[in-house]
Chains A and B, each alone.
Chain A
Amino acid sequence: MLELVNVTKRYDTVTAVDALSLRIEPGGIYGLLGPNGAGKTTTIRMIMGVIEPDEGEVRIFGKPFSERLKDSIGYLPEERGLYRKMKVLDHLVFLGEIKDVPAAVARERGRKWLKRLDLADWADKTVEALSKGMQQKVQFISTVLHEPKLVLLDEPFTGLDPINTQLFKDIIEELQSNGRAVVLSTHVMEQVEKLCKRICLINKGKKILEGSLADIKMQFSRNVVTVRFSGDRERLERYPGVERVRTFGQELTVTLKAGTDTNDFLRHAVDSGRVEKFEIGEMSLRDIFIAKVTADGGEVSDEAAKSR
């Protein structure tokens, strides 16, 4: 449905996207994940034809990008923007019309969506009268109003309260189950962990991991242990099965080599000092991201490492 082949985009000295290849199939939500500045927005803009790649090719529905395709794609940009002085419903109709939806149809669908998102009373208010969250809902409606086959959502949840986040997630699930391809880009990886079927992790413009979320989790799970411990730390870290140790305040996150028995490591820990906490954890996407980047000899930006 959507294919990127060796797509590269450079800005002056920075390579924003570096030989990125992706395949996205209909059904299921595809997560494009990475820290800020990883190249997600640039990638999406190239898919949308808003900017052109320096190298490589974007193919949508098996065809190279063309203006006509724009009508079958819905795009929620990271930088939201609406005409402040326009009335909400009129605005939706306009955005529908420039996707070649007849005005009457756009009006009817707009009303339906406004009702669904609890904005029916605001249809005739100007956009500027709406709160940020409401404006975001309006913008979201505009990305799906023309019933696109491919939906690109760039950071769709920023600025939403938990209730509306859930509402958005439900709608996104629904879009996907209707046979549409949904690409969801975000730097808040936890947010999409349960939503995405397939993910692609990118860092500094490069793809570092791609595949089904289940496979990736399987591959990386059960070898990370969180330990709170007082005693001989050096001895603990000398255990042959330890691959890497990261310190987060009082706690250590220990990544074990594949095939290491966590029970043996616990025994070793008890021998090395006093164990206050020992937790075998499934790795979060962020941990997987950090693990993968460091394993490849790359650097993890502060953005990705903090607030763990």
Chain B
Amino acid sequence: MKLLKVAKREYLDRVRRKSFVIGTVLGPLLMGGMIVVPGLLFEHTPESRVNIAVIDLTDSLYGSFTGALDDTLSNGSKMFALRNVRSTGADLDAAKKVLSAEVAAGTLDSYIVLPRNIVEKGTATYFGKKVSNIRTLERIENALNKTVVVQRLSKQGLDYGSVTAMLKRVNIETVQIGKGGEKANGFERMYITSFIFIMLLYMTILLWGVAVQRSIIEEKNSRVVEVLLSSLRPFDLMAGKIVGVGAAGLTQYAIWGIFSIGLTSYAMSTGQFAQYVSFGWSTIAFFILFYLLGFLFYSTLFAGIGAVCNTDQEAQQLQTPVVMCLAFTIVIPMAVMQNPDGTFATVCSMIPFFAPILMFMRINILMPPVWQIVLSVAILIVSIFVAGVVAAKIFRIGILMYGKRPDVREILKWVRRA
């Protein structure tokens, strides 16, 4: 099969390119970075003992404040070392001066002044060299808050514990009802999962589709094409290229897949990611199916465009409508998500230009009737076939045309004649 020889060459050429290696490595690194880095920042900020002095002008809060600020370090020891600095209020400035000097010298991290009217006004002041560690500050604030609230409540004769119990918020838990039973936190996860996969589909179909077009234009310009056509049918050349490039795309997915299995297991373990993303093997299977169909359909169109153009700039004009069709499927998902089995979504997911992405999305959100999936896939396959025949005709004539780009009327003439 000469087609396969072309595909093999194209495939090897693709996967050996620097851009492939970079894209393949950078893709998951970026994705992973987005998932892992925030987790790392939250989970593993090196925390150490914090020395804080407290000037308690009320003379009554220090005890309960230390009790409330009971956070511990990872080794179990207390995180905050508090020191009570007595002050009558008159010598406040002098006391602050001494503590500031200690902070400057590094023996003290910071100090807090609790004013006499803190229970009424609810303000205290934190003095430190840097106020950057938001987590630490948050802990202090929470503890102080609790201390003050307890104080206020007890003045009214109320118990803190029973009040918080009374104020407990009501939460609504979302459960998606699907074929496989109930999934907790379904909707949120599903939207985010769908969105990630849709973007991936869109980007890879576009990327690899245009790669086919580029490669054809390149071959035209380097005049390799005439040698090739003296050995094989134009269809074999076109189809071989599409298969080779598509296989390179699948390889990239495979590498990413392996990456993400490791990544997901990590992300799941930190708990940060798992609550947003959920997918199973069926999602992956549908993803690959619709990637292949979408890629075949679009890359055939791109191949036809490549055949009639001599430069990438020229091709950009012609490819605009095709890219717009693809981009349209990224613009409308909100409408589809809101009403995944409505007429609009159903019809759109049958149109070959939109089907790869929209049908995949519908499957993800709300499994459509099987006949709709089958119909959509069948329409896509027929469209690929039709596009392939038309593109091959255009390809056959266009591929050896150098110089002026033919207009649409001329291209139609080729299609009819060939």
Contacts and interface: CB of A to CB of B under 8 A. Distances in A.
Contact of A84 (B222, B225, B229): B222
B13 A95 contact: no
A79 B223 contact: yes
B231 A98 contact: yes
Interface in A60-116: 67, 70-71, 73, 75, 77, 79-86, 94-95, 97-100
Given A50-B400, A83-B13, A86-B13, A98 B232 contact: yes
Interface in B210-232: 219, 222-232
A50 B224 contact: no
B9 interface: yes
Contacts of A77: 223, 226-227, 230
B49 interface: no
A80 B219 CA distance: 12
B190 interface: no
B6 interface: yes
A81 B5 contact: no
B2 interface: yes
Interface string B222-257: 111111111111000000000000000000000000
Interface in B340-369: none
Nearest to B5: A97
Contact of A81 (B225, B231, B232): B225
Contacts of A73: 230
Given A77-B227, A98-B232, A51 B400 contact: yes
Contact of B224 (A45, A67, A81): A81
A40 to B, nearest CB: 14
A79 B225 CA distance: 10
B228 A98 contact: yes
Nearest to B220: A81
Nearest to B16: A85
Contacts of B9: 83, 86, 94
Sorting the interface of chain B by its residue count into under 10, 10 to 19, 20 to 34 or 35 or more gives 10 to 19
A48 B231 CA distance: 9
A308 to B, nearest CB: 31
Contacts of B400: 45, 50-51
Interface in B123-150: none
A84 B13 CA distance: 11
Contacts of A99: 231
B10 to A, nearest CB: 10
A50 B13 contact: no
A67 B226 contact: no
Contacts of A81: 219, 222-227
Interface in B1-20: 2, 5-6, 9, 13
B5 A94 contact: yes
Given A51-B400, A67-B233, A100 B2 contact: yes
Contacts of B230: 48-50, 70, 73, 75, 77
Contacts of B219: 81
A229 to B, nearest CB: 48
A5 B104 CA distance: 102
Most buried by B among A48, A79, A80: A79
Contact of A98 (B5, B225, B226): B5
A86 B230 CA distance: 19
Contacts of B229: 48, 50
A220 B407 CA distance: 49
Nearest to B236: A98
B223 A80 contact: yes
B62 to A, nearest CB: 75
Nearest to B222: A81
A75 B226 CA distance: 9
A139 interface: yes
Interface in A126-146: 139, 142
B411 to A, nearest CB: 15
B222 A139 contact: no
A127 B364 CA distance: 48
A160 to B, nearest CB: 18
Contacts of A98: 2, 5-6, 228, 231-232
Interface string B374-418: 000000000000000000000000001000000000000000000
A83 B222 contact: yes
Nearest to A97: B5
Contacts of B226: 45, 50, 77, 79, 81
Nearest to B229: A50
Nearest to A44: B230
10 contacts: A48-B230, A67-B232, A67-B233, A70-B231, A71-B231, A81-B222, A81-B223, A98-B2, A98-B231, A139-B227
Given A77-B223, A99-B231, 15 more contacts: A45-B226, A45-B400, A50-B229, A50-B400, A51-B400, A73-B230, A77-B227, A79-B226, A80-B223, A81-B224, A83-B222, A86-B13, A97-B2, A98-B228, A142-B227
Interface of A: 45, 48-51, 67, 70-71, 73, 75, 77, 79-86, 94-95, 97-100, 139, 142
- Please name the 7 residue pairs, one residue from A and one from B, whose CB atoms are nearest each other, closest first: A81-B223, A81-B224, A75-B230, A79-B223, A98-B231, A77-B226, A97-B5
